[in-house]
Amino acid sequence: MAHSNSNSNHSLLLPPPSADPNGGFCSQTKTYFTLRPHPPLPPQSLSLSLTDYAFSLLRQNSPSPTSSSTSAALIDAATGRRIPYTELVTLTQTLATSLHRQLGLARGDSAFVLSLNSSRIPILYLALFSLGVVVSPSNPNSTVSDISRQIELCKPVIAFVTSDANEKIISLFSRTIRLDSFEFESMMTTRCDEFVRFDVGQNDTAAILYSSGTTGKFKGVELTHQNFISSIAGVQAVRPVRQPPAVTLCSVPYFHVYGFLYCVRTVAMGESLVSIGKFDLLQMIRAIERFRVTHVAVAPPVIVSMVNNHDLTDSHDLRSLEVVASGGAPLSKALFKKFKERFPRVQLPQAYGLTETTAGVSRMVGPNESQKLGASGRLVAYCQAKIVDVETGMGLPPFKQGELWVRGPLVMKGYVGDPKATSTILDSEGWLRTGDICYFDGEGFLYVVDRLKELIKYKGYQVAPVELENLLQTHPDIVDVAVVPYPDEEAGQVPMAFVVRRPESFVDESNIKDFVARQVAPYKKIRRVSFINSIPKNASGKVLRRELIKLALSGASSKL
């Protein structure tokens, strides 16, 4: 790859004596250092797969043999099947051996995975990692053309799919194994004489995940075993010890970096992971009640649903719930406040990250940090950051907005087969340009303002859509909203709002324009409004602004 992976050198990541102990900013280098504990990572020369690492942590995290044998590693909400930890390791090793012996899968091969969340997915991922096979999961709702493009990028030798996958998609692969078949079940359960061990380098590619594609054609992001190991090590370093172990429900798809990391991390921490298939709020609420779920990982649209569906949340016992972690897209202050009114005892920590940084770059830890309105947490372990002035390229101090750059062992290897795109986002010193406008405060909390490419240019002023969306979400008659640029001859672009009204509400365009105009500078005013039934979003909850811009330009907006 173009950039050197010198960012893996642990000593380079430690804050220098000149760094501010409250916020981690070093004024000499204009770099922000993490204030999180970061114990030494395994030496890079050591052969170590992500599975080996996860299972070594699991041994540390299950304090008594009784708790690890009785607590379920994996719970399938649909079937109620529980797989205890003692069985998980055996199932993983048996599956890995079967995949190698029966199918010839080996280090360096690539496997495509097309499935909704289920308890089989973490076992499959762990088995493939232990063989050194690259795991490349995708959205089962993808179109045939998207899947064809992904196959070009990851060049799989096999695909693991579920029976309900589109036949057209299955026809793209020469070899497919159905995850819900007797064949796959027997590969996991038919004991072999001995487990096959493979040497897997930490710098080997562990996964090819697909960037959300909000900025053009999506790309294949190559993440190594070391990327994931450092990410999980950072979580382990700040993890509060608790008995009994947490019961976690991840509502985010396991094919998305957030869910992908979560399902491996939960196993490494010795927690119980509850899987529900296609996301459905009622199913999630029922699973929280039935399995006494303590932690839920969600994207912001789920928070919107939890806040708006009083009848559903009131009619179920959700007292086990301690933490609802939000990531994948920014959460507005208004939504945060509404959630806290409904669930005062539940922590709502936020995190910020990219597929290119193995998920989290910053996150909130514990009840105090979770109260910090509007922030996305503090830098995770092993991570450095800069805020760079978009015009001058200079590093900026706290409270100044600029593009966020990050560096550390969490940063991807690169984009598969696309050295040009890789060198555009990664410089020779290992800094990754996130494309997000952000700033840090004096205590090292990160605030995400907006995507650099999504800023609306009004008469030379820059208007952040997210700021206007956050404001509009405080309006009692608005359920959801997205703001996009609309071309204008005189101004260049003007802010246009797509609004989902509360049922039975009569709020109109002029009400909405006035509501915003009273609270913002004149150049930030909403100039056009369109009412719509729902805001298009991707799997992680990011607004698909390009679809809305297309809609606005087609003139179809007036018909909605």
Cis bond leading into 330, ω under 30°?
no
pLDDT in tens, 46-56: 999 999 999 99
Average pLDDT of 429-435? 94
Q: Please report, for the chain, how many H helices and E strands are present, in that order.
A: 19, 27
* Averaged confidence pLDDT in the chain: 89
Spell out the alpha helix ranges (H) of 309-384.
Answer: 310-314, 333-342, 366-370
- Decide: residue 81, CB within 10 A, 0-12 exposed, 13-18 middle, 19+ buried: middle
Joined tokens for residue 549: 């811009």
3-state helix, strand, coil in the chain (%, to 5): 35, 25, 40
Q: What is the pTM of this model?
A: 0.85
Angle at which helix 182-189 crosses helix 85-103, to 10 degrees, equals: 110
% of the chain with per-residue pLDDT over 90: 65
One DSSP character per residue, 169-213 reads: HHTT-S-EEETTSHHHHHHHHS--SSPPP---BTTSEEEEEE---
- The dihedral built from the CA positions of residue 97, 103, 108 and 113, taken in this order, carries a sign that is negative
* Residue 84: its H or E element: strand 82-84
pLDDT tens profile 177-234: 999 999 999 999 998 777 778 999 999 999 999 985 444 567 999 999 999 999 999 9
Q: Region 366-384: what's the mean pLDDT?
A: 93
CB atoms within 10 A of CB 238: 15
Measured between alpha carbons, how far is 399 from 238 in angstroms, rounded to an integer?
Answer: 26
DSSP 543: B
Read off the pLDDT of residues 76-117 as tens digits, 9 standing for 90 and up. 998 999 999 989 999 999 999 999 999 999 999 999 999 999
Domains and CATH numbers, the chain: 1-33+378-454 (2.30.38.10), 455-559 (3.30.300.30)
Angle at 269 between CA 268 and CA 275, to 5 degrees: 80
